[in-house]
Structure 1
Amino acid sequence: MDESFTELTDGQLFAVIGAALDALTDDRLRLPSDAEQLAQLLDALRLDARLQAWQQQLAARIEATEAACREYCTSTTTWLTDAAQLTPREARRLVKAGQGLAQFQIVGAAAAAGAVLPSQAEAITSVLADLPREFDQATLVQGQEMMVGFAASHDAAALRRLTTHLVEVLAPDTADTLEAARLERQERAARARRYLEFFGDGHGNVHIRGSLPVADAEPFIRIIDAYAAADKRASLEARDPLAELVTPTMRRADALVTMVNRHCQEALAPTNGGDRPRIVIALSYDKLAKTAADNGLLTGHLIGSNEPVPASVLRRLLCDADVLPAVLGSPSEILDVGRTQRLVTTPIRAALELRDGGCVFPGCDKPPQDCHAHHITPWWAGGSTSLENLVLVCAHHHGIIEPGHDPTADRWQVRLRADGRAEIIPPRRADPTQRPRTHTRFLTPMRA
């Protein structure tokens, strides 16, 4: 260490660090060799790790001394969310990471030296905190040294899985007994930490985050994987060069939606507030009337989250929905509410299921209960809610064939033959001849 730095105040040291960062201009990224660029990136990561370790330990000290409480009459986490614009989760993680480094000083020293990255340090301290309480201080020191050594060849995820191995090495004679007790504590802690939360990101997504004990999560995972495995895309769709590439994680997300849709269709959920669970979308009657008359743009928003709904999604939802007329005054005061009118009545739905037998898209094996009732001529464009204007399609293929407002668009279409069978017409990009295709189940005679 340059002894001249020890004479500087904290503010002066921060100024030196800031000046050094200012000097790291874009020109310094243009190194003459690949090896130098790789070495520089590693050095930068280690330097950043050292600075983060210092920040974490400072945050933990502020929490321990209640400095934020004395200065601003608030917790360290709350002060960080306000002063540094961190999310509460980020603020709590910063403090907790510092507390771990303070509790396990060998790990803290390694982090301060840049020998372990921040994510590795958090993983190591979580493993050490989970060790049997019977271990004495000398054993814990040995465990810290071992875990810091493992960091040279293990990433954070691998380090988190080393608890059992560490117990076996530190206490081979009593490892089984200690591990059984540790697992019981871990289960109780996991159950106490279980949670599920939803939050919008302001860009059309709702993020789902949560934690479950392993035994509770396993059946959930298996059910989702079962739905994902059953979600096979039709071979006809593969002809479309613009077809979405569905990754395994996307297929799991689709599986969760399918599971929820089936739950809703079979009315398995209990009532809440005297009504079955449902989404409610508010939209202007003037816009609705204008859309039906001249193909105007239709939008609405979800009641509750107040999130806007794009026209494409709203058109799809309107195919099979309840309509609840409500008369609003100028300040959005509810003046009158009419009765719901089922767009697709129970008799029509039963006839659709009998006629179509499931999704009409060729190659799709989704059963009727997993399908939406789709208006061929959209309801918003004046299409009637009648058997000759409806077909069953699964949620995925509903999004493909739902028409937009551009009549010249090269899109997938559906129509009914004279015998009531549905035909799918590919876009020109998928089939220049646009030869109509029918589902193989329609090759058999219609049931009486």
Structure 2
Amino acid sequence: MIETRLLSTDELLRSLVDEVTEIRVRENAALQIVAELDRRGAASELGYRNLPQVLRHVVRWDLHIAKRWIDNAALLTNEITPTGSELAPVLPLTAEAVAEGALSIDHVAAVAAVMKTVPADQEVTVVGYARDFEPHTVRTLGDKLAYSLFQDDPEPRDPETAPPPGNEHRMRWKNGRLEIWAKLEKVTGAKYEALLDPLAKPRPITADEGPDLRTREEREGDALAELVDLMLRAEQLPEHGGEPVTLTLTMPYEDLANQVGHATLDNGDRVPAEQVRQLACNAGIIPMVMGGASQPLNVGRKTRTFPAAIRRTLVTRDRGCAFPGCGRPPRQCDAHHIRYWANGGETSVDNAVLLCRHHHTLIHQSEWEVGLVNGMPTFYAPAWLDPQRSPRRNLINTA
């Protein structure tokens, strides 16, 4: 038994990693047993309707947990044919990683879900995601991988299929309050979200009022009320990141001109080129010239605050929080000085990275480090997490 009180924090974390790895190795052994029970028809032998019912009584699993273990076991274990031949697992590379203790049961479910959407030869890529990230991010990266593999395929068009629904809005008065319900298509929804978000931020902590104790729902409700008031004074619309609220879509100019491909919204949703062209008819176009003389991309030591032109460039480059595995959109991000302002760092694109509030705080208060490598934000984990301190990037926000 380890005397945890005598260990440093780094030693504790390394011990935790070792313990979890050992747990996962033992889970793999349990999966092999579950697979054998399923293979030999243990449920019928014992008079049960199915194997989940057996496991429910034997190890007190809920039925949905038991079914997940059975499904995962079938993907990771060798199959025996009626003739006695042994077949490799459905997900052989995943099975190897699980046997090493690198992946959890939840990781296996995430990998399996992604592998239903991509060719079998992509398993090495998906398992790589699982070795580096939690299951939710594996699914997100898997969706992106599937889109990249099939984005050039023609989109199915069924003339008999009804067009996608437009915007819907319903309201009614009840007990002296107006109840509002709405469904908005993605571009309109993104505009609405961009307008509401800066108004829904928690109020700053003050000596008189203390912290903002409103729930997120309450803050967004108050933001909607404020937005109504602002619309009555249209010249006073809120600002976000130092400039008026803007809906940002990113795509190559050549694709826009040729009406191919797609643009990407701040939240990662894709908008077809023809819809982007329609939006461009009613919007100002801001050319992004990285480092060009037309934009003040480096303001040196004159100001600590990043001007709008630099922020627009960071949005185009980073597409949201640049921290590995984070999917926060640009509107929820701060511009961070890589070399701190207090240490002489300049306010420039080459000394800046977009970070959400959580990861901005993490960078300032932990041993995580960030720098630009070939012009792209690159992160290095603390030694207790990665002794080699291998470079990491946010694969979610890359093109």
Shorter-chain TM-score: which interval?
A: 0.3 to 0.5
Return the index of the structure with the highest Cα Rg.
1
Highest relative contact order (Cα 8 Å, sep 6+), 1 or 2? 2
Q: TM-score, normalised by structure 1?
A: 0.33
More helix by proportion, 1 or 2? 1
